[in-house]
Chains A and B, each alone.
Chain A
Amino acid sequence: MKITDAVIKEHGLAKGEFSRIVDMLGREPNLLELGIFSVMWSEHCSYKSSRVHLRNFPTKGPAVLQGPGENAGVVDIGGGLAVVFKMESHNHPSFIEPYQGAATGVGGILRDVFTMGARPVANLNSLRFGSLDNPKTAFLVQGVAAGIAGYGNCMGVPTVGGEVYFNDCYNGNCLVNAMTVGIVKKDRIFKGNASGIGNPVIYVGSKTGRDGIHGATMASDVFGEGGEERRPTVQVGDPFAEKLLLEACLELFKTDYVVGIQDMGAAGLTSSSVEMAGRGGTGIEIDVDLVPRREDGMSGYEVMLSESQERMLLVARKGAEEDVAKIFRKWDLDVQVIGRVIDGKKVRILEGGKLAAEIPVAALTDDAPVYERPMQRPDWQDGVNSLNMKDVPLPRDYNDVLLKLISSGNIASKEFIYTQYDHMVRTDTVVCPGSDAAVIRLKGTDTGLAMTVDCNPTYCFLDPFTGGAIAVAEAARNLAASGARPLALTDCLNFGSPERPEVMWQFKEAVMGIREACLELGIPVIGGNVSLYNETSGKAIHPTPAIGMVGLIDDIKHHQTQWFKEAKDVIYLIGTGGEGLGGSEYLKTIHGLEKGLPPRLDLKREKSVQEACLTAIKAGIIRSAHDVSEGGLAVAVAEACFNPDGLLGAELDVDIQGLRIDEALFGEAQSRIIVSLRMGDIARLRDICVKAGAPAKAIGAVTSTPCLRVWNLRKWKFIEMDVERLKDAWSGSLERMLHAGL
């Protein structure tokens, strides 16, 4: 086949990029070589637009054992153990085919974690859909939830947490970000490294089919109308095969046969072999005729570019081939030596006994294009940032506002979704989905892990720097409210087309915001993923830098949930109120405005509030802790009343101190945690807060009557609501809205 301009374009390569390939090879590439370049130089695999910005992330820390660059990051958690985690996007496929797209997203991130030698112990996800009245939303939500459930449940890995947002900006591009957390013995970590000239390269797992060819290239393009036509590029998941692959790999990791191992994710056999050779400083030779196939007549091009799922590539010690094979055969999996590690830093593909492709490894990895794309603050930014509060009338009935807010898509309970996920398998889940962060115990130790994912896309749209910083701060706050000290984070940076300067500006701002929060709070970035081109017909999504964070609980006895526990406990607010309604759920839901500036974030204050909360939980005096986020103080207190073991009420007295009433009740000022405690422990809490430098004051009490009353200086009653009624509105509304949309 002749390499024409049309062929180059079909491969998603720019003309300049093609000339660069010709220069590097000293000749024109053949079709197979072009295919290999096309996937390795795709945005998805090469990070060519984002790389220059990602360098700004702080990635080191005393406990970090593996930062970005491997299949997943690793942090030491003491006792000879380490936690391995990463988050990854599967946005484009999920929009085209929601069930398989989401399912294979889960499958891919699970492989990234167990390829490091870890047993996956928890899954989380961060999902974004279009508005609830968009006809496609219900279909996507149902498909994505069922896909995540279908894969994760079968794998026996509990899906313990996540977040779901609805916003018009995702009408043409949903986001599916999946995160896996695993545990590994510190001295048994495996890496994707091809070393030892002559060592065998072994293919294990499912057979290779024609599915998912050019998936990475698709994920690096915008959608126009009719994007569904790309359905054949979506892979099909087989969680049963992956469960067998997981158990077989974990059995293999107990031996000393493995030199390096990597999963075949995006760009399949091509990227796994090239990246392993790149890290090992070696070359790899693969005979495609030896690759196990699902169908006849596949070309070398198809075999190298297939994204068939549930496959791994490993480099074993020479002579251990038969021992490796025995393990995989026990689990009824394919296992086949398909090549070897070679000298010379080249990837060589053989087909029909002939050399079919030969490319220097560096051309596909280190020497792949890196772009410093132009950046420009959008000309519409000032417009969306301006908000005149005089245009926002004060509501007449605050009960009604609270009811509307608590049943709005972004605040309502996500029970309808998470009850489809097995969140209890492995019998480690101490705090199930629905609280600030999920908590799992680590059997055989006194410790536990808390984990959460966070990102408010409206904040990021209004101010990507502050939005990025708040995503980090809030994730850390969720962990602190659960009794955990943050260890590290992984990110999934979802943006529009990098070829547009305003998108690159948003990207840079968000990255710098994340960086600032990480530096101030002392939380390293140990891995992540970038998903660009999330736009349809020229309309980009809001910047969505999702943050996944894991924290350590030293003594699992001292974990905390968000629900009030007993009547007569005192409710304290750690932190203070603040002015502003910009970017709030209240403004959007009640007034239909997505405008203004997001809440200010004072990172010093944030740190002291988290420190105070964590210290008080560890001292055993806190009975509940809940971060104040979307919907503000009123919503946070209402949620704290929804104790699953029996509803409670609260009597609150709010000093509005010159704020508007709606600001005081529904404003989303940052760095606030509401806690409840016994009357007798007040002095100790005060003491702890003073030492940490965090403001704190009593704002009310828990009542046995399930009624929420909010007073102002014991005179005016803003809110008086039956908690049962609030709970009904909160727990059933998402399902009602989705069914209405089907």
Chain B
Amino acid sequence: MKFGIIVFPGSNCDHDCYHAVKHVFNKEARYIWHKETSLEGLDCLILPGGFSYGDYLRTGAIARFSPVMSAVAGFAKKGGLVLGICNGFQILTEAGLLPGVLMRNKGLKFICKRAWLKVGNNSTVFSSAYEAGAVVNIPIAHADGNYFADADTMKRLEDENRIIFRYCDKEGNTTPDANPNGSCGNVAAIVNASGNVMGTMPHPERACEDILGRADGRAVFESILRGLAG
């Protein structure tokens, strides 16, 4: 069971993801420089958070042209697991591996805080370790997390049960007040149609150890490990 963590110029949660995989869950992991093109022997790719290419032009818009990205697309097509966190999510939408786009937060400011999330579909390979409808607490840290998709796409995401996390309040109500960035339908994390690519704005790798507060992000990794163990 081997994880690959892609390092774009400007990635800055690469070490955090590596630490979670390698030292919290004791699984093999290696960094993949964005100019590499072979993803041989890997079971799960993580596109970490950060500011690839400084977020210049538009978040993720330049990184999608990195040489590694065509390999990532091929890997996903063959059913490999791909997890995009924060900037990773933004890159996946720019690359067309996930629908929609992440716009500037409605308040126009960067927001770093712990967010309450309601678990949607818990039958995916990224969410099976959560209880359906559970209310969990995972940090967010982004300036561009305002998920937008047109009405048809939103309907498809709903109908196909592809929303994994929605922003909510402590009691689990997905109200506009509980929406920190203006996302359509309070969307915080989605999967692709085949369920093997997930994009999440909340950072599960920041919530894997009790010493850092509630460890509600662990279940994302536990789900993946369970899925890979088959």
Contacts and interface: CB of A to CB of B under 8 A. Distances in A.
B10 A154 contact: yes
Contact of A430 (B23, B54, B206, B211): B211
A568 B70 CA distance: 60
Contacts of B10: 154, 240, 243-244
Contact of A154 (B15, B19, B51, B139): B51
Contact of B141 (A238, A239, A425, A430): A425
B16 A419 contact: no
A243 B110 contact: no
Contacts of A422: 110, 112, 141
A240 B56 contact: yes
Contacts of B54: 154, 238-241, 243
Contacts of A238: 54
Interface in B1-33: 9-10, 12-13, 15-16, 19-20, 23
B148 interface: no
A369 interface: no
A420 B209 CA distance: 24
A681 to B, nearest CB: 23
B229 interface: no
B50 A331 contact: no
B9 A331 contact: yes
Contact of B51 (A243, A419, A429): A243
Interface in B34-62: 49-51, 53-56
Interface string A415-444: 000111111111101100000000001010
Contacts of A132: none
Interface in B171-230: 203, 205-206, 208-209, 211-212
A154 B211 contact: no
A156 B205 contact: no
A610 to B, nearest CB: 25
A443 B50 contact: no
A278 to B, nearest CB: 35
A94 to B, nearest CB: 18
Nearest to A428: B212
Interface string A268-305: 00000000000000000000000000000000000000
B133 to A, nearest CB: 22
B24 to A, nearest CB: 9
B211 A424 contact: no
A238 B51 CA distance: 12
A107 B16 CA distance: 22
Contacts of A425: 12-13, 16, 49, 141, 206
A155 B54 CA distance: 9
Given A156-B13, A425-B12, A427-B20, A239 B51 contact: yes
B149 interface: no
**Per DSSP, are chain B's interface residues mostly helix, strand or loop, or mixed?**
mixed
Contacts of B55: 154, 240
A149 interface: yes
A423 B111 CA distance: 10
B205 A427 contact: yes
A47 to B, nearest CB: 35
A168 interface: no
Interface string A397-427: 0000000000000000000001111111111
Contact of B112 (A331, A424, A430): A424
B51 A240 contact: yes
Contact of B9 (A244, A429, A556): A244
Interface in B81-120: 109-113
Nearest to B205: A427
Contact of B206 (A146, A153, A424, A443): A424
B150 to A, nearest CB: 30
A654 to B, nearest CB: 34
B9 A332 contact: yes
Nearest to B12: A156
Contact of B16 (A155, A332, A421, A426): A426
A550 B19 CA distance: 25
Nearest to A430: B211
Size class of the A contact interface (CB-based, 8 Å): 20 to 34
A238 B113 CA distance: 25
B223 to A, nearest CB: 19
A420 B13 contact: no
Contacts of B109: 146, 149, 420
Q: Point out which of B139, B205, B208 has the most chain A C-beta atoms below 10 A from its C-beta.
A: B139
A430 B110 contact: no
Nearest to B55: A154
A320 to B, nearest CB: 23
A241 B212 CA distance: 30
B211 A441 contact: yes
A334 to B, nearest CB: 15
A426 B15 CA distance: 7
A425 B205 CA distance: 10
A420 B110 contact: yes
Interface string B132-155: 000000010101000000000000
A195 to B, nearest CB: 33
A625 B19 CA distance: 31
A500 B23 CA distance: 58
Contacts of B19: 427, 443
B143 to A, nearest CB: 8
A441 to B, nearest CB: 6
Contacts of A244: 9-10
B50 A156 contact: yes
B12 A243 contact: yes
Contacts of A240: 9-10, 51, 53-56
Contact of A421 (B9, B56, B112, B212): B112
Contacts of A332: 9
A424 B15 contact: no
Contacts of A418: 112
Given A153-B51, A239-B51, A243-B51, A427 B212 contact: yes
A426 B111 CA distance: 16
Q: Point out which of A240, A424, A430 has the most chain B C-beta atoms below 10 A from its C-beta.
A: A424
Interface in A125-165: 146, 149-150, 153-156
Nearest to B109: A420
Contacts of B49: 425
A288 to B, nearest CB: 28
A317 to B, nearest CB: 26
Contacts of A154: 10, 12, 51, 54-55
A426 B16 CA distance: 6
Contact of A420 (B9, B50, B112, B206): B112
B219 to A, nearest CB: 17
Contacts of A430: 211-212
A482 B211 CA distance: 15
A429 B212 contact: yes
Contacts of B110: 146, 149-150, 153, 420-422
Contacts of A421: 110, 112
A150 B53 CA distance: 14
Contacts of B111: 419-420
Interface of B: 9-10, 12-13, 15-16, 19-20, 23, 49-51, 53-56, 109-113, 139, 141, 143, 203, 205-206, 208-209, 211-212
> 7 tightest CB-CB pairs across the interface, nearest first?
A156-B12, A240-B54, A154-B51, A422-B141, A427-B16, A422-B112, A420-B110
24 contacts: A146-B109, A153-B112, A154-B12, A154-B51, A154-B54, A156-B12, A156-B13, A156-B51, A239-B54, A240-B10, A243-B12, A244-B10, A331-B9, A332-B9, A419-B112, A422-B110, A424-B139, A424-B141, A424-B212, A425-B12, A426-B16, A427-B20, A427-B212, A430-B212
Interface of A: 146, 149-150, 153-156, 238-241, 243-244, 331-332, 418-427, 429-430, 441, 443, 556
Given A154-B51, A441-B211, 14 more contacts: A146-B109, A146-B110, A150-B110, A154-B54, A156-B12, A238-B54, A240-B10, A418-B112, A422-B112, A423-B112, A424-B141, A425-B12, A427-B16, A430-B211
